Structure 1
């Protein structure tokens, strides 16, 4: 198993419950021995939740028997049935397999925009969320310490690119943080704090529909967030960002959340893809290769509920259910039984904008405000994998509601700026040719 996201962990846990101890050996390749609950990452960035509350340990229970290899899969030779792994000690090792399940997830999608990867922050990993929180609070401290009006104004402007769920929730949660924190800085004018949320699309979160989309925009604008649609970034610098409509915004904070693309691992396989995602059957098998399954963000799984050639969107609810079905299909392949197709009708969407602000569309029912917030938080609690995680998150929410925000920064990498290019290790992967050469050298073919 490659990947410990929603899809990978669900698959491993179902395999452990279904297979007898002597029936198969299960190995999980992941750089971090935890499952990250990504939908709540903006709340970690804003300090509402602690980082460990949404990082569910894979080693907590003694009853699981999966072998965990701490490292990342950097290539797979599908013909030789070998997975090449870069361990956390930077060693290259290889593992043979009979069946492989590819769920390496996705990385932040970037474009060829001057300065983007050098000056933007992402919101895809736990480290990024913790770093962004430190950075935002640091801007308040630096603005408070500065006697230069222009510098002070620049440090109190923040730009978020991406009008999807991640970008909208990130802007909403961090705006609440700065709005509350500035009250503790008597020298700072709260009117100087400006948040910009921009997206090239004509609407925020179009999947919500016109009514809820407008409601979300009204909530954000009421709180002072400036929303610009049909706009993106032309170039990014250390102290300013230029929009495609010509505006230049002085800022030290650019947060990039403009979508995701499949893990670079997919490019090492030499298999057919659909917009960068592996083209798989509706049983999530990779055509032409025996014993290979792929799912989650890295696979273009046919969406049978929608039909017309649609593929499943990269959402947690699809990934979790795909994981269970792939586990069932792996067991079926092992035991010589029939495999089943994946089909799931979307249960709806929830967007937590912080406080009492939220929008939700469970089973097609449109909700706004407190009812939507109750549904959103109920959904997240239900989706968290362990009772410990549920208690931690619920306790954090309760404590934040009663005691309010805190504005402590940890000094995380304070003297070494880290930006988008520093967190996802996209240069660690091999090319397809390098994988083949490595396998041929490490495992010479028998004559």
Structure 2
């Protein structure tokens, strides 16, 4: 009996979902079996997470169901890949119930994305909040509103002041948008708390880099910094975190800020899954060729944040930056290359020139650089939201997002906590599990152990 080729896609981010959708459209059901490994059966539109945290958008509006496609036929394994044995062609998966299962494949597309980069800062993973998942964004909104509630109820001036100070680490797009959007949340909410002095609410945005969002260029970077300063957000550059505690944060310049809210958005690194392959990497990302194929390995492709895909548009030794813009296009392109492999056709290299950058600072504030054109204010806001809206994959998601934007603009926010904030706090360590991954030797030993009875 002739069996169908097994295509395994790891990760349901922009890259993984783009690949799966293309495979479903271009392959007939009889040509191949498609399997997707992901803890969640949705694709998260990550750039809009700050708007979920600030209450402008509901969580469901940026969680795009994988089962809505008319051509949906992909088998979904609810879990995360923790190791890959390239020789045996086996992917080791930890399901959401902590069961370890082996999935065999003929072709594998590795798009596991990235995880938060935390360094070895004392207390960071125990006391900082992240902004990488939908649960973290929803949880962070509850936490920020709860700080206003607790400060309002407190008669202790020191506690009140510490609960009304917020620290965001990371001057990239995620950190800047998070600080801007959440500052608007607290600024709007404080009007409903007559016992609170609005001047006590202080937001700090810090980054070790000398410039804010350097990719935007000096002019737009300065404009963004001026907008934040006008809102009362204190921006400190050339500064990071020395250590973190439950009720205070120490900066590397010696300042100690009493706070119950430390938000960490200072960059990402490739998923630890890549290290389990024992293959060559470039700054932690899997070294692949322009066709997104792993040299020397049959049927192994990698893309997105976890792969160092050569940037043919820039040339030299440049690799594509870990952005949604590249991941979406790489997903479709790698699917075409997988199909070409199935049909014994030549692979084609990935080439894409950046279309520009957009930064939504909330309200009417934004800075954008589409096709190299620098925009500010309403024009930049229109471009930023127009780009995000058009990039949403389903019409249902577009309708939800547009409705949310309209309702928020007309009616504002009710500043309601939804119950995610429990007595037991959930910090960085509770949302990402870097200790779950296997070493290359552990992967081979596990596969050999589970495979031996079948021989």
Using the size of structure 2 for normalisation, the TM-score is 0.97
**Paired residue for 1:303?**
311
Confirm whether residue 371 of structure 1 aligns to residue 382 of structure 2.
no
Pick from 409, 412, 433 the counterpart of residue 401 of structure 1. 409
Q: Is the 8 A contact 2:142 2:421 kept in 1?
A: no
Q: What do the CA deviations read for 1:52-105 (whole angstroms, capped 9, x no partner)?
A: 000001112353111111111111000000011111121111111110000000
Does the alignment pair 1:243 with 2:254? no
Alignment partners' CA distance in 2, 1:360 and 1:379: 10
Match of 1:70 in 2: 78
Name the structure 1 match of 2:172: 164
Is this contact kept in 2: 1:122–1:419, CA < 8 A? yes
Deviation at 1:446, TM superposition (A): 8.0
SS of equivalent to 1:351: strand
Q: What's the secondary structure of 1:444's corresponding residue?
A: helix
Aligned 8 A contact 2:181 2:362 in 1: yes
For 1:211 and 1:238, how far apart are their aligned partners in 2? 37
Which residue of 2 is the match for residue 107 of structure 1? 115
Q: 2:441 aligns with which of 426, 433, 439?
A: 433
Q: 2:303 aligned with 1:292, yes or no?
A: no
**Offset, 1:115:** 0.5
Query: What secondary structure sits across from 2:93 in the alignment?
Result: strand
Query: Of 44, 47, 60, which aligns to 2:52?
Result: 44
Q: Distance in 2 between matches of 1:306 and 1:61?
A: 35
Partner of 1:152: 160
Quick check: 1:390 aligned with 2:401?
no
Across the aligned residues of Structure 1 and Structure 2, the Cα RMSD in angstroms comes to 1.0
How do 1:238-387 and structure 2 match up within 5 A?
Answer: 238-387=246-395
Indicate yes or no: 2:210 matched with 1:192: no
Measured in 2, the distance between the counterparts of 1:418 and 1:303 equals 38
1:406 deviates by 2.1
Q: Name the structure 2 match of 1:179.
A: 187
Whether contact under 8 Å (1:77, 1:435) holds in the other structure is yes
SS at match of 1:443: helix
CA distance in 2, matches of 1:303, 1:406: 45
Q: Deviations over 1:386-434 (max 9, x none)?
A: 0000000000000000001220002214111111111012222122111
The farther-off stretch of 14-23 and 46-55 is 14-23
Task: Note the C-alpha offset of 1:197.
Answer: 0.2
The answer for the alignment partner of 2:24 in structure 1 is: 16
Residue 132 of structure 2 aligns with which residue?
124
Write the distance in 2 (CA, Å) between the matches of 1:435 and 1:102: 16
Which residue of 2 is the match for residue 211 of structure 1?
219
Deviation at 1:445, TM superposition (A): 8.7
Instruction: Count how many residue pairs are aligned between Structure 1 and Structure 2.
Output: 447
TM-score of the pair, normalised by structure 1: 0.99
2:140 & 2:389 partners in 1: Cα distance? 24
Counterparts of 1:61 and 1:22 in 2: how far apart (Å)?
18
Give the Cα–Cα distance (whole angstroms) in 2 for the partners of residues 355 and 417 of structure 1.
30
**Which residue, out of 412, 415, 428, partners 2:423?**
415
Counterpart Cα distance in 1 of 2:362 and 2:231? 11
SS of the residue 1:195 aligns to: strand
The answer to whether the 8 A contact 1:240-1:248 is kept is yes
The 1:279–1:171 alpha-carbon spacing in structure 2 relative to 1, beyond 3 Å, is same
**Are the aligned partners of 2:242 and 2:250 in contact in 1 as well (CA < 8 Å)?**
yes
Distance in 2, Cα, partners of 1:24 & 1:148: 65
The CA deviation string for residues 223-265 of structure 1, in whole angstroms up to 9 with x for no partner, is 0000000000000010100000010100000000000000111
- 2:14 paired residue number: 6
Q: Say which SS state the counterpart of residue 236 (structure 2) adopts.
A: strand
Q: Whole-Å Cα distance in 2 between the matches of residues 185 and 18 of structure 1? A: 56
Matched-pair contact (CA < 8 Å) for 1:350–1:360: yes
